[in-house]
Chain A
């Protein structure tokens, strides 16, 4: 067992532990902070997989953007120190059983199939990603790039319109 393997299992345990805390914490603000740690753990998993660009995007967009947005909206709408009402025990048990059954089914499928690793190196330099993103050829992503930029614009306008106070 080499050091890279040990680091992977440490990161995996960190992610799962923080995610469990994020969905079970009683106070919503703490839940947001556990979510922050989960996302940082996932970014470190990307660093472990040597996809540095995605790791950087993960930190910038998720940790720096979405979590801050969530924390702002908690402050705007909640008594952040108050406990959230605890769900009924029956619902908790049903949710746990459903999740564990789903996990068992999907885990069994993944484990039985046992995807084989190829030894080829994965070239994911940012220059290659950038060339492919603006390429209109057969392996280019120019059309989805444009589509997603229109989606972002529409989402921005929509968010402003929805959150705007109605003026008389």
Chain B
């Protein structure tokens, strides 16, 4: 029997690994990959709570499905922005796209 807290600790660790990537990477696609890791850790949390704490309901499953959908939409938009940025700057390093800084 695995206690629920161990699954939650796994998802917490995964979330903070994604946060480490978000802090250290400067490449826009790498940042997107870190965000996907964080979203996935949250999905694990929702499913674990739904299965082990509130098994009568389906809310966690639905939150997971909607998060996956929104993550797919977000990835599509982000990659369109990356391609557009590459066309105008020939680089996808976030430090090179600082025109709006004053």
Contact = CB atoms under 8 A, between A and B. Distances in A.
Do the two chains bind? yes
A163 B2 CA distance: 46
A136 interface: no
A123 B54 CA distance: 11
Q: How large is the interface on B (under 10, 10 to 19, 20 to 34, 35 or more residues)?
A: 35 or more
A133 B37 CA distance: 26
B42 to A, nearest CB: 11
B23 A12 contact: no
A98 B80 contact: no
B10 A87 contact: no
A110 B8 contact: yes
Do most interface residues of chain B lie in helix, strand or loop, or is the interface mixed? helix
A146 to B, nearest CB: 12
The CB with the most chain B CB atoms within 10 A, among A23, A28, A70, A118, is that of A23
A64 B20 CA distance: 25
Given A31-B30, A111-B9, A19 B18 contact: yes
Interface in A57-100: 57-58, 61-62, 65-66, 69-70, 72-74, 76-78, 84-85, 87, 91-92, 94-96, 98-100
A49 B47 contact: yes
Contact of A102 (B8, B16, B75): B16
Contacts of B81: 162
Contacts of B49: 115
13 contacts: A23-B21, A51-B61, A66-B71, A73-B29, A96-B20, A116-B4, A120-B56, A122-B50, A132-B62, A152-B73, A158-B77, A159-B76, A163-B83
Interface of B: 1-10, 12-21, 23-27, 29-30, 32-34, 36-37, 40, 43-44, 47-58, 61-62, 64-66, 68-77, 79-84, 86-87, 92-93
Given A115-B53, A158-B77, 10 more contacts: A12-B6, A15-B14, A35-B37, A46-B47, A62-B36, A70-B79, A78-B92, A102-B19, A122-B55, A124-B58
Interface of A: 4-5, 8, 12, 15-16, 19-20, 22-24, 28, 31-32, 35, 38-39, 42, 45-46, 49-51, 53-54, 57-58, 61-62, 65-66, 69-70, 72-74, 76-78, 84-85, 87, 91-92, 94-96, 98-100, 102-103, 106-107, 110-111, 113-118, 120-124, 128-129, 132-133, 139, 141, 144, 148, 151-152, 155-156, 158-160, 162-163, 165
**Interface pairs A-B: 3 shortest CB-CB:** A23-B21, A95-B23, A155-B73
